[in-house]
Amino acid sequence: KNEVEQSPQNLTAQEGEFITINCSYSVGISALHWLQQHPGGGIVSLFMLSSGKKKHGRLIATINIQEKHSSLHITASHPRDSAVYICAVFGNEKLTFGTGTRLTIIP
């Protein structure tokens, strides 16, 4: 069993829909990151959180430390949100990554 599990692996939605990507982890962590990777490889850090909730524009990230679970929400999704979203947990002084969720938003 992977230390970091993401679901779903693939998600296709219509423009404007509300998107939720989930991440569960089994190890002790000090922080959790949500990353976005576009075709071509570049990775952008969206959020780093260790408790509660953070919001940036149409993106919201939440974490429940007791349940070892985090969610990334996208409101009013847009085709430019199409990318791979990766959950990564920081524990033992290193990042461990989930396998990613490939999101496709159809106009």
* Residue 30: CB atoms within 10 Å: 10
Q: Which of 86, 101, 103, 105 binds another protein (CB under 8 A)?
A: 86
Angle at 73 between CA 71 and CA 8, to 5 degrees: 60
**Binding of residue 48 to another protein (CB under 8 A):** yes
Q: Which of 31, 54, 62, 65 binds another protein (CB under 8 A)?
A: 31
Near another protein by CB under 8 A, which window of 16-24, 33-41, 62-70, 75-83? 33-41
Position among 30, 51, 75, 104 found at the interface with another protein (CB under 8 A): 30
